[in-house]
RNA sequence: GCCUCAGUAGCUCAAUGGUAGAGCAGUGGCCUCUUAAGCCAUUGGUUCAAGGUUCGAGUCCUUGCUGGGGUACCA
């Protein structure tokens, strides 16, 4: 991968390290006293003295004086060094600096003839010598040139991406703000944060293919969790009344624009409430995030989403009426089948009501749910952990999914706590598995034992954190919300 | 998975099937208000990999690798 050109650059930098050592200077010292950041200079504190530290981003040498740009966490600023202002050793050191080096400087702020706030260097310290070149991105009037166009390079070498595209940092600062906001919201609502096993002997809580691993000392196979649900509900059984976990789940499935094999999931459960309560609660949580980010609206595909508005709540037949103008009887298999045919959906005559409904929702409705909308009351067949609806048809559940911008953000329900029903549902999953459904989950006796011991009425929700980050960052790519996305190792 | 496009110097990009080139970065000079600094000189290439067609392949064909963009499943 590395050839002569790069090795030549590295060799030249290593020679400079030797020359710096010959000057009696340590190219990798231990600290530097930073007084201000670059923004102090940008704010035109003319005549004031300060010291700043950062990475050299460009050098414009003119023999006896030079300008350079220094970048730190807050931005970029111009420095000026003249042989008249520093001692000869410092100027010798300066001549050995490269783009990419970290330096610390002390001096006086002044304004150049072209009205550019600049720090005149009086003292200069090398803080870390860079021996590997970074792409030299030029910039004029805010327009960038020679930007790295290779997205793969940016994801693989995120450290370089962050150096040459410092605005990328803002997206991840935003993500951190979102996560803080969610934790604060849950904590102040008396939720307890817990950590459940990543290595699980039996996986479950979602329909997905797991990663398999092996523990040598225990001589046992483990699965990386696909969800935290089954453990968190055991804690509700145990007497925690409000618990949450925000952590990585792992699903051994395709990688695309909106899926990464490891992703961050929030799940929370509260005893003695139902899914109506949770819909209100999740809505409040989203509004709180928007408030903490000081973003009243976000934009998805040029459509503005206003978080001050109330989220919609719609049953599936209501949505089919609204979006397709069809009067649908959700209990009529033949009616649903004919509807699927009408819209050219790939279905079989033998498909269940649940599957037909799911197909219509997924193809014809969900992608068009731009404004925050709760889709409610899903078929029991596709909701193996949700309680049946209290007054509607018993083949439907008290479940909701939140859609924003055509993407699913949350999935919650009144949790099934009838142990007989729950065992039947697991057996149904198990038989689906045996007949080839790779994503159906196996029977978890430990979990069933807990439910048999008795779980209070409870509602729970799962929320995709990476997707919330995508929503507020304003990207359609999950890799822009995950700082080190999963990539194949180069051979 | 499938479809499709791409991979040339550290970075950005050229090169009708006919000697692999430029800008930036690097190196050596000149230069005390530059800012995509400038000027002179210069180093740097197994053109993603392996085969094939051809007198001749960066270019055409096959396979593979990696990635981008679609699409399917999952959040």
* Through-space separation of residue A7 CA and nucleotide B19 C1' in angstroms: 27
Residue A1, pLDDT score: 37
Protein-proximal nucleotides of chain B (any atom < 7 Å from a CB): 1, 9-13, 23-27, 30-38, 43-46, 65-75
Smallest CA-to-CA distance from A168 within A463, A489, A404, A484 is with A484
The answer to whether the beta carbon of residue A143 comes closer than 7 angstroms to any atom of strand B is no
**Interatomic CA distance for residues A104 and A52, integer angstroms:** 6
Query: For chain A, how many residues are written?
Result: 491
Residue A361, pLDDT score: 93
The answer to whether the beta carbon of residue A291 comes closer than 7 angstroms to any atom of strand B is no
Instruction: Specify whether the CB–CB gap between A272 and A455 falls below 8 A.
Output: no
The answer to whether the beta carbon of residue A140 comes closer than 7 angstroms to any atom of strand B is yes
**Interatomic CA distance for residues A128 and A31, integer angstroms:** 10
Nucleotide nearest to A112 (CA to C1'): B33
> Which amino acid residue lies closest to nucleotide B25, measuring CA to C1'?
A136
Domains and CATH numbers, chain A: 4-133 (2.40.50.140), 170-311+371-480 (3.30.930.10)
Q: Which DSSP category does A389 fall into?
A: P
Tokens of A418: 């009838």
Residue A72, pLDDT score: 96
Q: Report chain A's terminal Cα–Cα distance, integer Å.
A: 10
Element holding A188 (H helix, E strand): helix A168-188
Q: Which of residues 252-271 of A touch strand B (CB under 7 A)?
A: 253-254, 256-261, 263
Smallest CA-to-CA distance from A243 within A458, A426, A6 is with A458
Residue A491, pLDDT score: 64
Give the long-range contacts of residues A354-359, CB within 8 A, separation 24 or more: A354/A379, A354/A380, A354/A381, A354/A382, A354/A395, A355/A381, A355/A382, A357/A316, A357/A330, A358/A382
Residue A293, pLDDT score: 97
Instruction: Specify whether the CB–CB gap between A119 and A41 falls below 8 A.
Output: yes
The Cα-based distances of A339 to A86, A329, A347, A396 in angstroms read 81, 11, 10, 20
Chain centroid to Cα A110, Å, comes to: 42
Residue A457, pLDDT score: 98
The answer to whether the beta carbon of residue A153 comes closer than 7 angstroms to any atom of strand B is yes
* Cβ partners under 8 Å of residue A114, min gap 6: none
The answer to whether the beta carbon of residue A58 comes closer than 7 angstroms to any atom of strand B is yes
Q: What is the DSSP string of A14-68?
A: HHHHHHHHHTT--SS-S-------HHHHHTT-TT-EEEEEEEEEEEEE-SSEEEE
Going residue by residue through chain A (491 aa), what tens digit of pLDDT does each one get? 346 788 999 999 999 999 999 999 999 999 999 999 999 999 888 999 999 999 999 999 999 999 999 999 999 999 999 999 999 999 999 999 999 999 999 999 999 999 999 999 999 999 999 999 999 888 887 778 888 878 888 888 899 999 999 999 999 999 999 999 999 999 999 999 999 999 999 999 998 889 999 999 999 999 999 999 999 999 999 999 999 999 999 998 888 888 999 999 999 999 999 999 999 999 999 999 999 999 999 988 778 899 999 999 999 999 999 999 999 999 999 999 999 988 888 888 888 999 999 999 998 999 889 999 999 999 999 999 999 999 878 899 999 999 998 889 999 999 999 999 999 999 999 888 888 788 888 999 999 999 999 999 999 999 999 999 999 999 888 999 999 998 887 76
Smallest CA-to-CA distance from A409 within A292, A484, A300 is with A300
Q: Which of residues 86-105 of A touch strand B (CB under 7 A)?
A: 98-99
């Amino acid at each position: 991968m590395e050839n002569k050109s790069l090795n030549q650059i590295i060799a030249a930098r290593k020679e400079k390290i030797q020359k710096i050592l010959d000057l009696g200077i340590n190219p990798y010292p231990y600290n530097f006293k930073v007084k201000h950041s670059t923004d102090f200079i940008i704010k035109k504190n003319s005549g004031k003295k300060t010291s700043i530290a950062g990475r050299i981003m460009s050098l414009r040498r003119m023999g006896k004086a030079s300008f350079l740009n220094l970048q730190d966490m807050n931005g970029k600023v111009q420095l000026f060094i003249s042989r008249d202002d520093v001692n000869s050793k410092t100027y010798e050191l300066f001549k050995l600096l490269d783009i990419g080096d970290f330096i610390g400087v002390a001096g006086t702020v002044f304004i150049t003839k072209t009205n550019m706030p600049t720090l005149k260097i009086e003292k200069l310290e090398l803080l870390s010598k860079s021996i590997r070149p970074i792409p030299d991105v030029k910039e004029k009037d805010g327009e960038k040139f020679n930007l790295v166009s290779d997205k793969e390079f940016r994801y693989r070498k995120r450290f370089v991406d962050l150096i040459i595209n410092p605005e990328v940092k803002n997206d991840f600062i935003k993500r951190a703000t979102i996560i803080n906001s969610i934790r604060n919201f849950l904590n102040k609502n008396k939720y307890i944060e817990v950590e459940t096993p990543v290595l699980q002997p039996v996986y479950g809580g979602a329909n997905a293919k797991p990663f398999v691993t092996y523990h040598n000392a225990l001589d046992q196979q483990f699965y990386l969790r696909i969800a935290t649900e089954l453990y968190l509900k055991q804690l509700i059984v145990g007497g925690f009344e409000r618990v949450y976990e925000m952590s990585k789940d792992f699903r051994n499935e395709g990688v695309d624009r909106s899926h990464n094999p490891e992703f961050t999931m929030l799940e929370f459960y509260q005893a003695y409430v139902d899914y109506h309560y949770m819909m209100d609660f999740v809505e409040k949580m989203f509004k709180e995030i928007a408030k903490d980010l000081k973003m009243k609206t976000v934009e998805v595909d040029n459509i503005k989403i206003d978080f001050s508005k109330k989220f919609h709540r719609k049953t599936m037949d209501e949505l089919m009426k609204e979006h397709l103008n069809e009067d649908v009887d959700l209990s009529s298999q033949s009616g649903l089948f004919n509807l699927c045919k009408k819209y050219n959906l790939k279905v079989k005559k033998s498909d269940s009501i649940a599957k037909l409904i799911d197909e219509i929702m997924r193809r014809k409705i969900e992608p068009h749910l731009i404004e925050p909308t709760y889709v409610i009351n899903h078929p029991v067949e596709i909701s193996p952990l949700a309680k049946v609806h209290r007054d509607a048809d018993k083949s439907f559940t008290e479940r909701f999914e939140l859609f924003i911008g055509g993407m699913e953000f949350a999935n919650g329900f009144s949790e099934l706590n009838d142990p007989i029903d729950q065992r039947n549902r697991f057996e149904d999953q198990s038989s689906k598995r045996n007949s080839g459904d790779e994503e159906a989950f196996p029977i978890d006796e430990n979990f069933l034992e807990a439910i048999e011991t008795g779980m209070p009425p409870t509602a729970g929700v799962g929320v995709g954190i990476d997707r919330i980050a995508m929503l507020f960052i304003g990207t359609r790519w999950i890799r822009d919300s995950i700082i080190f996305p999963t990539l194949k190792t180069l051979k």
